[in-house]
C-alpha cells in the first residue's frame, strides 16, 4: 500500500473544505481560530467568491437566516475553507434539509477542491 505525501495531497486538493456543526454560540469559531492559530475573525465569501460583510452575516443568523454555502476563510491559514451549518438545532426542518443537501452535493463534487474533506 502506497502512502500519500502531505505535500502531494496539498497540491492535488489545493484547499481543504471543512463543515463545522454545532449550536449557535457553542464555540465553533473559537475552535476554528485554534485550528488556524489566530484570534482574527474569518472573512466570509459567497459561492461566487464575493466577500460578504461579517456584520451582515451575523445579523442574518440572528434573524434565523443562514447560508451553509458561504465560505469562511482565515487570513492566517487560507488553505482551509470552512462552512457553518448553524441553525438546524432550533428545529428548523429546512435548515436540516439544506445541510443534508450540502453534504450530498459536496461529497459527490467532481472537482476535488470542491468536495467536503472533513465534518
Which residue matches cell numbers 489566530? 38
- Lowest mean per-residue pLDDT among 15-19, 52-56, 59-63: 59-63
- Lowest mean per-residue pLDDT among 15-19, 50-54, 104-108: 50-54
Q: Following DSSP, what letter does each residue of 44-57 receive, concatenated?
A: EE-TTS-EE-HHHH
d(CA 64, CA 72): 18
Cα 15 to chain center, whole Å?
Answer: 12
Residue whose C-alpha is closest to residue 49's, from 65, 18, 66, 71:
71
> What pTM was estimated for this model as a whole?
0.77
pLDDT of residue 93: 77
Rg over alpha carbons for the chain, rounded to the nearest Å, is: 15
Express each pLDDT in 58-89 by its tens digit.
655 544 556 889 999 999 999 899 998 765 55
pLDDT of residue 87: 56
Amino acid at each position: 500500500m502506497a502512502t500519500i505525501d502531505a505535500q502531494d495531497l496539498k497540491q492535488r486538493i489545493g484547499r481543504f473544505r471543512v463543515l463545522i456543526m454545532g449550536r449557535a454560540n457553542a464555540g465553533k469559531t473559537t475552535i476554528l481560530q485554534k485550528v488556524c492559530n489566530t484570534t482574527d475573525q474569518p472573512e466570509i465569501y459567497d459561492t461566487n467568491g464575493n466577500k460578504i460583510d461579517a456584520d451582515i452575516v451575523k445579523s442574518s443568523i440572528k434573524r434565523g437566516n443562514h447560508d451553509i454555502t458561504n465560505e469562511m476563510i482565515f487570513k492566517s491559514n487560507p488553505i482551509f475553507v470552512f462552512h457553518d451549518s448553524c441553525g438546524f438545532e432550533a428545529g428548523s426542518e429546512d435548515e436540516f434539509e439544506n445541510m443534508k443537501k450540502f453534504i450530498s452535493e459536496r461529497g459527490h463534487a467532481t472537482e476535488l477542491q470542491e468536495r467536503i474533506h472533513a465534518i
